[in-house]
Amino acid sequence: MGRKLRNFWERISDGVAVQELWAQFHADARASYQLYSKDVEFEHREGESRGRRVRRIVRGFFWAMVLKLSPGRRVLFLIALVLLVWPSVRIRIGDTEIDTGAAQFFAGVLLFLLLALELADRVTMKRDLEIAREIQSWLMPSSPPEVPGFEIAFATRPANTVAGDYYDAFFRENGRLLVVVADVAGKSVPAALLTATLQASLRTLAALPGSLPELVSRVNHYACEQSLQGRRFTTGFLAEIDPGTGCITYVNAGHNWPVLRRANGAIERLEAGGLPLGIMAAAPYQCGTTELHSGDLILIFTDGLVEAENERAEEYGENRMLPVMQGLHNATANEALKRVMSAVDAFVGLTRQHDDITCLVLRTR
């Protein structure tokens, strides 16, 4: 009997320790609370008693959950609740006697049916999202290009199955390496679809002759046509690197400032640029330049890195990231990437990720 119970528990828990299961439940509960609390009014109303406020908040949470269901399932759920609280009484209609004690049984059946319907939707959606993730992985490079004198490493971690982050590194016709990290506003499927269009347009436009500012201007015009009047903008950092000279030309389109760590430990930020892509078609973009020397390292990242939160809702922040960067003396690109991601993981713990995280590290040998 004990062995059967152990096997049953292993099957149910997938071998995860109880402490970790509780941490996962806590993270899921916190994420669900954040989802439903958006539709609940917590502010105290003038003249409202404490009890009345509590009842209003509970009622708000109830309707926030119910309205997430489809209309048909709302009806099933409400019928099940009514049957669940129905008292066990006997009702006589003529010669027929009805025992309502069975109402709770039917309530359980309806709730189980509702759970089965929701799980079916979740499984179907998960399968579709897995296919979408596979397609998205085809669009992103699986490995960095070989560049003489340089090391490149990148990693992306979507908050959901698919991401709104985009990264790439490839050679243009002029022989220069184009490095791109971008972040489409939003998450999941809508952002992923726009990421795919951005990737296609950038690859096409980069094949045309022209300087980096001209390329950014073309991409911005295209993004404005797809941005739903600026509601779906994209922040991005684009850089052209001459492998022969180590000269880097870059444009920062409203993106987090990449960190350039010099071989001597000095920190610089790559700031020159302009507005995010997709906001204003005629937006001007400044172009920055610098030179990379042996041992220099650049970290390009999306805001999901510095805005990652722990269970106390504290952000990781640049004040924690920069000391990690300063400690990367003689680290390879892969080592630097692992240290940065590990530092974020250690800070966040088991808290559910709320935004996509993408990092690209470029280092000169």
- The arithmetic mean of pLDDT across residues 76-88, rounded, is 79
The 10s digit of each residue's pLDDT in 91-102 is 565 666 656 566
The 10s digit of each residue's pLDDT in 232-286 is 789 999 999 999 899 999 999 999 999 999 999 999 999 999 999 999 988 999 9
pLDDT bracket for residue 307 (50, 70, 90): very high
- Highest mean pLDDT of the ranges 17-31, 72-86, 251-265: 251-265
pLDDT of residue 46: 81
pLDDT bracket for residue 155 (50, 70, 90): very high
pLDDT of residue 94: 65
| DSSP string across 81-102 | HHHHH----EEEETTEEEEGGG
Query: Distance between CA 1 and CA 261 in Å, rounded?
Result: 61
Q: Which residues pair with 335 in a beta bridge?
A: none
State the DSSP code for 65: H
Query: Distance between CA 358 and CA 182 in Å, rounded?
Result: 9
pLDDT of residue 230: 59
Q: Are 361 and 331 in contact (CB under 8 A)?
A: no
pLDDT bracket for residue 364 (50, 70, 90): very high
pLDDT of residue 293: 93
Helix (H, G, I), strand (E, B) or coil at 276: coil
For residue 131, the tally of other CB atoms under 10 A from its CB is 12
Contacts of residue 221, Cβ cutoff 8 Å, sequence gap at least 6 = 281
Contacts of residue 363, Cβ cutoff 8 Å, sequence gap at least 6 = 150, 151, 152, 295, 296, 297, 298, 331, 332, 333, 336
Does residue 156 carry a pLDDT above 70? yes
The 10s digit of each residue's pLDDT in 105-119 is 788 888 889 988 888
Query: Distance between CA 238 and CA 261 in Å, rounded?
Result: 18
Q: Are 188 and 164 in contact (CB under 8 A)?
A: yes
pLDDT of residue 89: 56
State the DSSP code for 146: P
- Worst-scoring range by mean pLDDT, 146-150, 223-227, 235-239, 277-281? 223-227
Q: Are 184 and 194 in contact (CB under 8 A)?
A: yes
- Structural domains of the chain, with CATH: 2-133 (no CATH), 144-364 (3.60.40.10)
pLDDT of residue 139: 76
Q: Are 259 and 325 in contact (CB under 8 A)?
A: yes
pLDDT bracket for residue 212 (50, 70, 90): very high
Higher-confidence position of 18 and 179: 179
State the DSSP code for 68: T
- The arithmetic mean of pLDDT across residues 326-335, rounded, is 91
Helices (H), 180-310: 188-206, 212-226, 303-306
Higher-confidence position of 35 and 200: 200
Query: Distance between CA 178 and CA 214 in Å, rounded?
Result: 13
Q: Are 337 and 153 in contact (CB under 8 A)?
A: yes
Does residue 165 carry a pLDDT above 70? yes
pLDDT bracket for residue 22 (50, 70, 90): confident
- Which pairs count as long-range contacts for 81-90, CB under 8 Å and 24+ apart, including other chains? 81/107, 82/107, 83/107, 83/110, 84/108, 84/111
Does residue 287 carry a pLDDT above 90? yes
CA distances from 277 to 142, 182, 194 (A): 25, 10, 12
pLDDT of residue 194: 81
Query: Distance between CA 147 and CA 243 in Å, rounded?
Result: 7
Q: Are 226 and 232 in contact (CB under 8 A)?
A: yes
Helices (H), the chain: 2-13, 18-37, 50-66, 71-85, 103-139, 188-206, 212-226, 303-306, 318-326, 333-348
Mean pLDDT for all residues in the chain: 86
Contacts of residue 262, Cβ cutoff 8 Å, sequence gap at least 6 = 268, 293, 295, 296
